[in-house]
Amino acid sequence: PVPRTVYSNHWAVRVPGGPERAAQLAAKYGYLNMGQIGNLENYYHFYHSKTIKRSTYSSPGRHNFLQMDPDVDWVQQQLIKKRVKR
Amino acid sequence: HLRLDPNLLYFNDPIWSNMWYLHCSDKSSRCRSEMNVMAAWQRGYTGKNVVVSILDDGVEKNHPDLIHNYDPFASHDVNGDDQDPSPRYDASNENKHGTRCAGEVAASANNSYCIVGIAYNARIGGIRMLDGDVTDVVEAKALGIRPDYIDIYSASWGPDDDGKTVDGPGPLAKKAFEDGIKKGRKGLGSIFVWASGNGGREGDYCSCDGYTNSIYTISISSTTENGYKPWYLEECASTLATTYSSGAFYERKIVTTDLRQRCTDDHTGTSVSAPMVAGVIALALEANPMLNWRDIQHILVKTSRSVHLRAPDWRINGAGRRVSHLYGFGLVDADAMVVEAKKWRTVPPQHVCIGASDKRPRFIRADQLIRTTTQTNACADHSGQHVVYLEHVVVKVTISHPRRGDLQINLISPSGTKSQLLARRTFDYSNEGFKNWEFMTVHCWGEKAEGEWMLEMHDIPSQLRNPETQGKLKEWTLILYGTAEHPYNPFSFHHARAKALDLSAGDMEPSKVAFFQSHLEFEEEDEYSGPCHMECGDRGCDGPGSEQCLNCVHFSLGNVKSGRKCVSACPLGYMADVASRRCRRCHRGCEACFGRGQNQCSSCKRGFYLQPESNTCTTSCPAGAYSEESLRRCLKCHQNCKKCLGYPDKCVVCRDGFSLSGSMCVPDCEPGTFFNVALMKCDKCHATCQSCVGTGKDQCTQCAKDFHLHDWRCIPTCSHGFYSDDVPGLPHRICRRCEENCLICEATGKNCIKCKEGYSLLSGSCVTNHTCNNADEMFCEMVKSSKLCERKLFIQFCCRTCMLAG
């Protein structure tokens, strides 16, 4: 069987407007802003508690609004990757 | 070379004596100290002021062997979003992995506890990121923790090594790698060390792991104590170097720290190899903290050695370096690393030359080799991109294919170095192909980039496939990384000053040596003041040609009689004698060799095949091996195969207990079961089958008692138009078709009982109603007298008309 894609309730979002704008956007669309992703400038980690934690379907719906916001460059719902210790 | 004094470096750590891969204190036991770690320690390098972090499932920071070197600033918990990387404890000690890796790097020395880390004075931290859902965000966060503080990130994980996965970093992780390389260590670049993979038993190939296959990671593989390929090891062209790790049951293992403040010598796989190299790099960084990320890779390439590591594919690339798909450039040498690091001058800037994408679609026909070439000037017309001397080479491909695992891809450089970018993967049945997948090779390191590059693709079906669905190479792009100047000997014009020919006295008779020396002493020549050939060494030259050098940067080729010239690498048929910087002719039949003897070949000329056990080149291969045409070597058939043709798993005869399934030898299963290749286990046949090739009722090969085989199904009775028949040697009956146009026939099948519409029964056969309706009486007499109607072959011959006519 082909492994199925598993979607999480975390998103990566690129907001060129800076951390404040990212916080505003997260609040506006109902996400929790988990802050900048490591050292990657303008990339933020959003979390949505009302989305299923692990799903084989992506969650468009309300998340499309975030994607359509003019202050957002790029959005990616996070896939759960199978990683194996060697 | 330092003379090692084992007494000088004695540690009271209880398991120190078991660290066979670091020292040879006991002269009675086998010695495996080729990694030369103690020699580096004796020079005073132990990892001081170097920070290493382990990306894994956490690090037990209060382990007595780690607590002294533990660095909270080199640590983070991505899973728990806090600063404490302590592992989550459970009954099965699932999260022991990071702690084991950490010990290999920086376990304290002389603290009477467990072991001694390779960089036992380095600072060690842990980034806990594997104990939870791993996403692109999680990986990107982990790879970017304090890049100005952490020098080396060591990771011993990756996508599944199941032989069917093709996966790598997502866009954020890729960006984190790039950012680390560009900005980490205050611009010198973060060092990412990666374990090559444990999928050897599953036939996995590490080029399908985008982390080890990345130019930003240092991919490390493993060898066993005796220099054999460990059962778990994956091969690929992006592996840079190797360390010892665990092997067969009779070979010694690696010892390290373990969860709950313990020590362990459990099987380690490839996982400890990455931290071992992280430790060695820490020693090099202590020797020279200004080394950038590419300096480290260059030093590893330059100092790693093939020593006694046994690989069937060791070959010398166009820059004179021995490289293999199992071990990269060989076993790491900590002492050589620190010596090189100390005197290292930063390599010239990295240039990237991206070739034009070739988008001409090409079908990849089964069992045929397709080749496509591209000619490149390596961006000679763009000074900021011009690559003269190669580092990494990437081939980006888009391929559609009905069964990805059947594909094999090679890249051949202008110097003739063949890198296997992808080997066949028996378990990879995906039809997804490759979409912009970047295959990377380090095998051309140091070669010249300009010239013709060839991509070879071979599709060898491992199972029956629909012949109408073919693979297609849709697009490929060559990406060259390297430098415009020579990385170690920047181009300079030499003046002929010294007048000593670079002739090895060992190559000449004493009288000739004396003659040459005296001749040179008294000979007066016009001094040449022009530029020397770039292969000339520091003594200068007598003219611009490569045959006019007074000594060579790399190797001299030829002899006194025929004349000598300097070359960057020895041509085929010669070996590079590094000590004397000479190219020496190999034995007849050898294409490359490590000595001049008959049994010192490492690759063979056309028409000869290398026997790895004896290192000889012969014209045929022994039993149990087959001649691999492209590699020109005898390779062993798959362990389940008794005889194979062309490929190890293209078996024609199987070992006892195995039977052929296509060209594979699969284990024999109990009656009523079959070997399910996807699940790798025996599975039940349909209840009507006695043996089968699948679970379906139409996949029977033999039927259960009282059933008849018909069109791969087992049915209780034969349908109309068929009769039941015995077949000698088969336990069941089969349904045979009645003769043509017969609807129902006798049980023997000989005589028809009822014909199809439009046919009439005549002497047990069916004849068409319309055949021969104009036979006259005389003709019918002839038919009758010749008894044609009694002979089936002629029964259609007017018989019915004649019968009707009386």
For every residue of B233-292, DSSP letters joined together read PPB-TTEEEEEE---STTS----EEETTTEEE----TTTTHHHHHHHHHHHHHHH-TT--
User: Do residues B52 and B279 make contact, with C-beta atoms less than 8 angstroms apart?
Assistant: yes
A2: left (phi over 0), alpha (psi -120 to 50) or beta: beta
Which residues of chain B have a pLDDT value below 50?
1-2, 491-526
Most A CBs within 10 A among B76, B81, B135, hence the mutation to make, goes to: B135
Write out the two tokens for B547.
């045959």
Dihedral sign from CA coordinates of B786, B791, B794, B796: positive
Is B172 close to A12, i.e. CB distance below 8 A?
Answer: yes
pLDDT (0 to 100) of residue B665: 85
* d(C-alpha B376, C-alpha B373), whole Å: 10
The active-site residue out of B23, B63, B76, B97 is: B97
* d(C-alpha B22, C-alpha B581), whole Å: 31
Is A84 close to B158, i.e. CB distance below 8 A?
Answer: yes
Which residues of chain A have a pLDDT value below 70?
1-2, 61
Strand, helix or coil at B780?
helix
ipTM of the complex model: 0.97
Is A39 close to B139, i.e. CB distance below 8 A?
Answer: no
Is B97 a known active-site residue? yes
The string of pLDDT tens digits covering residues B746-769 is: 888 888 999 988 888 887 888 877
Interface of A with B in 41-80 (CB under 8 A): 43, 45, 54, 76, 78-80
Task: Kindly state whether B269 is in contact with chain A, defined as any CB-CB distance less than 8 angstroms.
Answer: yes
The string of pLDDT tens digits covering residues B267-291 is: 899 999 999 999 999 999 999 999 9
Measure A43 CA to nearest chain B CA, in Å.
9
Measure B529 CA to nearest chain A CA, in Å.
54
Which residue in A has a C-alpha nearest to residue B180's C-alpha? A39
Instruction: Count A/B contacts: CB-CB distance under 8 Å.
Output: 93
CB < 8 Å to A38, chain B: 140-145, 176
pLDDT (0 to 100) of residue B7: 58
pLDDT (0 to 100) of residue B8: 61
Is B458 a known active-site residue? no
User: Do residues B309 and B329 make contact, with C-beta atoms less than 8 angstroms apart?
Assistant: no
Task: Kindly state whether A12 is in contact with chain B, defined as any CB-CB distance less than 8 angstroms.
Answer: yes
* d(C-alpha B299, C-alpha B304), whole Å: 8
* Length of chain B as a residue count: 806
- End-to-end, the C-alpha distance of chain B in Å comes to 113
pLDDT (0 to 100) of residue B275: 98
Measure B207 CA to nearest chain A CA, in Å.
16
Is B133 close to A2, i.e. CB distance below 8 A?
Answer: no
CB < 8 Å to A55, chain B: none
Strand, helix or coil at A23?
helix
B262-264 and B256-258 strand pairing: antiparallel
Is A40 close to B140, i.e. CB distance below 8 A?
Answer: yes
- Number of DSSP helices (H) and strands (E) in chain A, helices first: 2, 6
pLDDT (0 to 100) of residue B663: 81
Measure A12 CA to nearest chain B CA, in Å.
7
Is B81 close to A83, i.e. CB distance below 8 A?
Answer: no
* d(C-alpha B164, C-alpha B158), whole Å: 13
* d(C-alpha B120, C-alpha B38), whole Å: 12
- If you compute the radius of gyration of chain B from its CA atoms, what whole number of angstroms results? 35
Amino acid letter for position B123: R
CB < 8 Å to B171, chain A: 76
Is B270 close to A86, i.e. CB distance below 8 A?
Answer: yes
Task: Kindly state whether B430 is in contact with chain A, defined as any CB-CB distance less than 8 angstroms.
Answer: yes
Distance of CA B663 to the CA centre of its chain: 22
Is B172 close to A43, i.e. CB distance below 8 A?
Answer: yes
Is B392 a known active-site residue? no
pLDDT (0 to 100) of residue B2: 47
CB < 8 Å to A12, chain B: 136-137, 140, 172
Most A CBs within 10 A among B129, B172, B676, hence the mutation to make, goes to: B172
pLDDT (0 to 100) of residue A73: 95
CB < 8 Å to B239, chain A: none
pLDDT (0 to 100) of residue B542: 79
In 3D, which of B462, B788, B486 has the Cα closest to residue B651? Answer: B462
Interface of B with A in 217-256 (CB under 8 A): none
Task: Kindly state whether B270 is in contact with chain A, defined as any CB-CB distance less than 8 angstroms.
Answer: yes
Measure A83 CA to nearest chain B CA, in Å.
5
Which residue in A has a C-alpha nearest to residue B175's C-alpha? A40
Across A1-86, the runs of DSSP E, i.e. the strands, are: 7-14, 32-36, 43-47, 54-55, 74-79, 83-85
Is A83 close to B158, i.e. CB distance below 8 A?
Answer: yes
CB < 8 Å to B161, chain A: 84, 86
Is B171 close to A45, i.e. CB distance below 8 A?
Answer: no
Is A12 close to B136, i.e. CB distance below 8 A?
Answer: yes
